Structure 1
Amino acid sequence: MRTAAGILQRVASFAIVFFGVTFIIYFAVFSLPGDPIRALAGDRALPQSVVDALREQYNLDAPLWQQYLTYIGGLFRGDFGITFQGRPVGEQMLSRWPVTITLALSAWMLEAVVGILIGVVSALTRGSVIDKGLLGITVIASCIPVFVLGVVAQLIFGVQLDWLPVAGITEGWPTSYILPSAVIALFGLAAVSRLVRSSVLENLSAGYVTTARAKGIGEGRIVGLHVMRNSLIPATTFLATDLGFLLGGTVIIEGIFNLPGVGNLLFTAIRTHEGPTVVGISTALILIFLITTIVVDALHALLDPRTRRG
């Protein structure tokens, strides 16, 4: 009964978040000043009959709350809306998701592997020059604005050294994704490394480690088998949640590196006032974030038996 109540409570909270956030986004996008229908014609004036027909077609003549309910009803049928050019938003996203997912997963793998490695090395060399240097570098890198870091990476590794392409995906994975994914990953390295470092240090001073050492178990086995398993719980939780943020946070990077992903599509839609596309992509990103949150809970329960007992 307690488990069922917990599941229902979590589903209810997800529903509140989903409907609340999507309504705020919908309201913010479609309550902006300006008429998107008249903007389609540019400098030319459309006949009023055409304007009225288009507003009726896109449900823009209805109250905002009614527009939102119509959108949600279509969403449950898998319809993310229609652009003002008459193309389904879902179809546009479908063709661009592979690029965004590849970029986000590449950045996520770099963030996980390098961040965990830095955290472990820092913990095992606590207080040394290596410890302070690694943490200092990650913190400084994460403080630089993403667009500055992206442009600098292009100039150094793409233009001056000519090691990697500066834009596009013509050379495929991993060559075309190394620079943009590295730039994105830098912003999570500091958090991951600090989480792993503090957790490893905490577990190294735990009672079970003292007992294992007293039994003569090697230090490598203690750290690699026992300490790491318990130390990765907070980092895993952060990384699983961060994957949802990475999928939604590629807008600037895709623009800088001219990657034809969902983030670039969102950036273009915002610039051209393409409301249905902005709302559709935002809704998809919200759903992804909620799904990753569920996965985080499952992983946390799998790694930490105390959570399951609770």
Structure 2
Amino acid sequence: KSFFKRMLYPSESKSAQKQQVSSHYDLGNDFYAKWLDPSMSYSCAYFKKDDDTLEQAQHNKVHYILEKLALEEGMTLLDIGCGWGYLLIEAAKKYGIKGYGCTLSKEQWKKGQERIEAMGLQDKVQIDLVDYRDLVAEGRQYDRIVSVGMLEHVGRSNYPLYMETASHLLKDGGMFLLHYISGHDESIGNPWMRKYIFPGGTLPSLREIVSLAYDNDFQVIDVESLRRHYYKTLMCWFDNFQKVRDEVIAARGEEFARMWDLYLCGCAVSFYIGNIDLHQILMTKGSKNDLPMTRWY
């Protein structure tokens, strides 16, 4: 019984999460660079037009998020789980904000540093290898917070702490955009995925996250589903993966390649038939009356 419990309910402690995140994202930048777009965006893209390339759609996604956040020059933006830093770099270039990112993946952190230096943005963007929970003790607060595809790694027992931490880190009147894969219910999710692809991965439901928002100081002002955009994103990744499959087999073996076929295709199907969803929730901390009156800003 304890073996099955450990397999289905892995630890959601800090040290376990660092290990779980690393097991997936530290497979190596060279591996992800083979089949992701050049921005190395590893989350749902946004296809404004049917014929958008994956690279264009990932660019669209980042700028769609930045538009929703109503950024102004000089603002501070925290990216919780910032990946390779693409969003923060784009925000600094377009809006002149000061960006701060945190990640638990050494490989992502390393690539992020290279990117910041290559762009000459050392005074605008900083990425640290740090757990987001440790930022509160430093007394930091930000004008805006964004988190893309990171909540899935937090673990159900930590959702209240995650939302409470985000609230502590956000200034009054600030805005928080949360972008994550959501489940329809509060089940533990797919055991195969949890064992082989995303150790400890859990999909929050929309209702539990909205409920936790109101347990804290947040007011939800916009919710959008990008479910079909993720289906399309995954099919792009799958097609790219097939083109480099022989290289992957040479480096990591046939079994690994088959696992990733199943992961990319299985997720695509799950989004297509609606077993899972992708939500962007836009929240303000307290009431915010200085935004444009319509959502089309």
TM-score of the alignment, normalized to the shorter chain, above 0.5: no
Higher-helix-fraction structure: 1
Highest Rg: 1 or 2?
1
Specify the TM-score bucket, using the shorter chain as the normaliser. under 0.3
Higher-strand-fraction structure: 2
Determine which structure has greater relative contact order: mean sequence separation of CA pairs < 8 Å that are 6+ residues apart, divided by chain length: 1
